[in-house]
Structure 1
Amino acid sequence: MTTPFRFEVLLACLLLAVAGIGCAHRPPVVAADGEAPRIVPLPQRVEPGAGELRFAREVALDAADAAPNAGRALRELLAGLGIALNDAAATHVRLQLTEDAALGGEGYRLAVADGIVLSARTDAGLFYAVQSLRQLLPAQAQPDYRLPHLAVVDVPSYPWRGVSLDVARSFLPMAYLERQIDRMALFKFNRLHLHLTDDQGWRIEIKRYPKLAEIGGASAVKGGRAGYYTQEQLRRLVAYAQARGVTIVPEVDMPGHVQAALASYNELACDGVRNLSPYDGVDVGFSVLCLDKPDVVYPFVRGVLEEVLAIFPSREIHIGGDEIKHPRYSDFVARTAAMVEAMGRTPIVWEEGSVADTSPGVLLQLWNDDYDIAPAVAKGHPLILSPCSYFYIDHGNYAGQPETYDWCRKEGVPLARIYGFDPAAFKSAVGVEGALWSEWVHADATVDNRLWPRLAAVAEVAWTPASRRDYAGFAQRMGALRPHLDALGIRYHPEPDLGWAGAGMHR
């Protein structure tokens, strides 16, 4: 199965050029007061005006019927700020679909003058325009509102702007996942990768194999949370995410990282394996499906994938493939990837899967800084970039932060390091993904602390070309957006670079 990602990446520069933006270096455009507008990720082009729009707590709204997600988001934004809808109001807010080809599938225009006009070719583009407006407006209701006159033209650099959450080692409640999707939406992320299975737990109900949830769902890493999601819960989560511009990409990690599956169905292990108990440690690389029993393993794999695909409509399905050495590993990856393609989806495999004989459309996710991915790129595989020393945010916000890993980078993975990454160094990249593994991250507050504000840097790396990015400007814009993070209830790390040191309620 071929993937459209390569075309989308090549198209991005063309769209920017058509829009009059271009891929060459441009310094960030600043507002009239000398500061870049309070928007993260930084838009591709901002033209400041000379005045400001002032309006009381009512507007006339003209929302495009063909853009339900954007329309809902805009109405919720206005209602949350106490702004009433009144057709007779002096200030008009218009949400409109346009045939402007330069905007592609996710680009938008935002104009503030006598009124506010948001335009895009798609509901997705309009939704992102609403998020930019959301950031320009205060986080809390005000007696009246002021917005600087400006014109924004914005198109993302990459089609894959993702967050990966490990819910297998330590379970995350459904309510937390919904809150995380709300936060992702504000920063224009469009993929939530759920790592649903691992040695320590199996988090998805598979009706054909009920013990996966009954036994595998009852275990977790030591100190972590156990549990599993029913298929109906996950369908509701998929719909919740879709309404906010986020596609959920499920991962069933195979053929390694499967102790929870082996403990649930012992026949999946080879006959000589003695350790078939649930696991709560942090070691890796010790469990594997018995690839010497294909008549047992492949019907299991097919049965699981068929139910997973029936829940998740995402174009991409992650089949894992990391941290395992086995003489039949390459054959397993090739066979399972072909199985997914025959089901009409695009497989994603961790970088180790590059050794398998798969079609060029298979996406590879790069996680090891030192892995030689060049041969896979030469074969035509597109890449999702998650190199651990830049995007593994289970590592500390700073060196030595408690309850964090440092195996990939002793100095931690601070905000500035993430921001300095340039995906353009990888010509076949389709985007980037920040990853949070949960061996040491269990409570909701701890998850918040590891994710934010670092995910905002991931978002800007994925959206804005490196030639337009400036860390000082990013810090200024993020510093100004702190009330928006507070309004979302985020218990973020008090990042000194953003002027947040000593934040009261935050760790």
Structure 2
Amino acid sequence: GAAAPTGLFWGTRTLLQMLRQTPGSVPCGTAVDFPRYQLRGFMLDVARTPYPLSYLKDVIRTMAWYKMNDLHLVINNNYIFHEHYVDNGHDPFKESYAAFRLESNMKGKDGTPLTAKDLFYTKKEFTDLVSYAKKYGVNIVPEFDTPGHALSFTRLRPDLIYKGPMNHEKRRCEMLDAANPETIDLVSKVFDEYLLKDPKLGRPVFADCGVVHVGADEFYGDKEDYRHFANAVLSHALKRGYTPRIWGSLSTKPGKTPVVSKGVQMNLWNTGWMRAWEAVNQGYDVINTNDGALYIVPFAGYYRMDRNHKGLYNNWIPNRIGNETLPSGHPQLLGGTFAVWNDETDIMHTGYAPYDIWGIISGSMDVLSQKLWGTAKAPDTFEQHRELVSSIGNAPRTNPLYKWKDAQPFEVKPSALPQKLGKPALGPNYRLTMELELTAAPEGKEQVLLSAPEGELLAVMKDGTVGFRRDDSLEFSFGAKLPVGKKVKVEIVGEPEKTSLLLDGEPAGTAVLKNFSDKAKDFPDNFKHRPKVHRSTFILPLKELGSSFQGKVFHMNVQPL
């Protein structure tokens, strides 16, 4: 029995996990099971690097498998190290990477769209994703981050860039003029596009979210300006019937201007910006998202919760936030959330794929869910916990690493192109071998050799080289060109973080990220943040062969390694 459908759903997860451990039988008896903390969350920054919807569905199914229920998606953000541009004679307002990942009608006077150009979710796709998550007991919390980290917004309205004195002068381009009524009006208008009924959908885009995040972290301007803004956006969400959530910042921004707290949730992310007892005493419901313990910046030299899973399992407690401890079971402590921030984007991007951080995400989920659901008495040791995790396996209907059940080679002698292959995509490790002849390579025209929703292998990119495009919209080039009018043996070797090309048995290049690398070309050679290595994981698309290839393919073989 369960008090609500979600409870019943969690029960089915337990049953499935029992069956995975002892196939064909379930132990007799009764069990009583309920979570210690109501909010068990994960925050993913989909703004600084793009994530395809299919990946978010794998995230949702995996969260459900571990009985996590709160998926916070950061919809807009930007490259934060604008000083790299300023110090090298560039203008970050024009050049820094920024993205707002939702379809929006908003445009600047000069026609600049709010919506990201590389990858975005349509309103319909996003509402469908929210409903999909609901079926799995997961609530999606979308975040629009203003007045800081708001380069997507300042580009619409350059007149609303913050004018007052501030720390981090070189980052001014991303700061909105917080207390200006026009700024509050702009931000409210953007929220209303999703909080009010959408004419096409017949309901609000965020109707099923319930909670919306108003961001408001790391504003480097005046504290009263900040408080005025925070109060306005929180009040706006409350007025529209949503529960607002905000990044805790009021310890750094104390002042006279009141900021609403009743019915407001707060992420306690950094004790310098907001102290736990202060937040609770001011009336906020709080979520432990402490950066020192729970932040991950993939592949960076800082914020690496993923390197401390054992330490967390053994020592972390949800009610200790930084150096403060709230009573266990305090009614205002909702739970905890870990966070993945893609700081290393733009000119620092090493090319990592959503695939490359899957282990980081799922390996943090199993630890945190265990700590938030029950007492740490479950398996005694971290090693026993991990044995249990591997015995229950991946969440049902997920194959995040694109492995084939049978590691049999796949062979084709194509009759005519294009040809449907209809095989599932294949993740590393693999070797693709093809004999082909390119008959023509008109300048500036792409030619697709293999395609699927997961990506495209390009025999000819716009610049004439061999390369590929992934479903996260990142493009890579091997730097080599196929000969025209000559039969050639092409081999692609896919490994985690590295994809290589061989032509007639000779190495012809490792993939290099195209999206951002051109930008850093005119930075000095000693620019120390330039990526030393490009991670070029490519999931091999095997749905269709030769959809726009001008030439012949004589033979193709795919070998899982």
TM-score, length basis structure 2: 0.57
Q: How does 1:66-105 map to 2 (within 5 A)?
A: none
Secondary structure of the 1:198 match is strand
Q: How does 1:101-500 map to 2 (within 5 A)?
A: 119-138=1-20, 145-199=24-78, 200-209=98-107, 215-218=113-116, 226-270=118-162, 287-291=174-178, 293-294=180-181, 296-309=182-195, 310-312=204-206, 313-327=208-222, 328-353=225-250, 355=254, 357-370=259-272, 371-394=274-297, 403-406=299-302, 408=303, 413-419=307-313, 420-424=315-319, 425-426=325-326, 427=330, 428-440=332-344, 442-466=352-376, 470-472=380-382, 473-481=384-392, 483-484=393-394, 488-491=398-401
Compute the displacement of 1:468 (Å).
Answer: 5.4
The change in CA–CA distance for 1:329 and 1:485 in structure 2 (over 3 A counts) is same
Partners of 2:306 and 2:360 within 8 A in 1: no
What letter is aligned with 2:178? L
The change in CA–CA distance for 1:415 and 1:208 in structure 2 (over 3 A counts) is same
Partners of 1:235 and 1:311 within 8 A in 2: yes
Partners of 1:353 and 1:364 within 8 A in 2: no
Give the structure with the higher percent helix: 1
Secondary structure of the 2:371 match is helix
Distance in 2 between residues matched to 1:132 and 1:125, nearest whole Å: 11
Distance in 1 between residues matched to 2:293 and 2:215, nearest whole Å: 20
Distance in 1 between residues matched to 2:20 and 2:136, nearest whole Å: 20
Structure possessing the higher relative contact order (Cα contacts under 8 Å, 6 or more residues apart): 1
Give the structure with the higher percent strand: 2
Distance in 1 between residues matched to 2:111 and 2:44, nearest whole Å: 19
Distance in 2 between residues matched to 1:266 and 1:229, nearest whole Å: 25
Secondary structure of the 2:238 match is helix
Alpha carbon RMSD of aligned pairs, Å? 3.1
Compute the displacement of 1:234 (Å).
Answer: 0.5
Distance in 1 between residues matched to 2:111 and 2:245, nearest whole Å: 24
Distance in 2 between residues matched to 1:380 and 1:335, nearest whole Å: 17
Partner of 2:424: none
Partners of 2:306 and 2:363 within 8 A in 1: no
Compute the displacement of 1:202 (Å).
Answer: 0.8
Partner of 1:16: none
Distance in 2 between residues matched to 1:232 and 1:479, nearest whole Å: 36
The change in CA–CA distance for 1:213 and 1:436 in structure 2 (over 3 A counts) is farther
Q: Using the aligned pairs only, state the percent identity.
A: 27
What letter is aligned with 1:299? D
Distance in 1 between residues matched to 2:372 and 2:112, nearest whole Å: 39
Unaligned runs of at least 5 residues, structure 2:
79-97, 196-203, 320-324, 346-351, 403-427, 430-494, 498-561
Name segments (4+ residues, structure 1) moved above 6 Å. Answer: 210-214, 503-507
Q: Deviations along 1:96-138, whole A, 9 cap, x unmatched?
A: xxxxxxxxxxxxxxxxxxxxxxx21221111001111111123
Distance in 2 between residues matched to 1:147 and 1:444, nearest whole Å: 36
Work out the number of aligned pairs and report it.
350
The change in CA–CA distance for 1:412 and 1:475 in structure 2 (over 3 A counts) is closer
Secondary structure of the 2:316 match is coil
The change in CA–CA distance for 1:467 and 1:378 in structure 2 (over 3 A counts) is farther
Partners of 2:279 and 2:286 within 8 A in 1: no
What letter is aligned with 1:291? A
Compute the displacement of 1:229 (Å).
Answer: 1.2
Q: Deviations along 1:392-450, whole A, 9 cap, x unmatched?
A: 1335xxxxxxx2341x46x8642113323211343431011111112348412123032
Larger deviation, residues 348-357 vs 464-473: 464-473
TM-score, length basis structure 1: 0.63
Unaligned runs of at least 5 residues, structure 1:
1-118, 220-225, 274-282, 396-402, 493-502
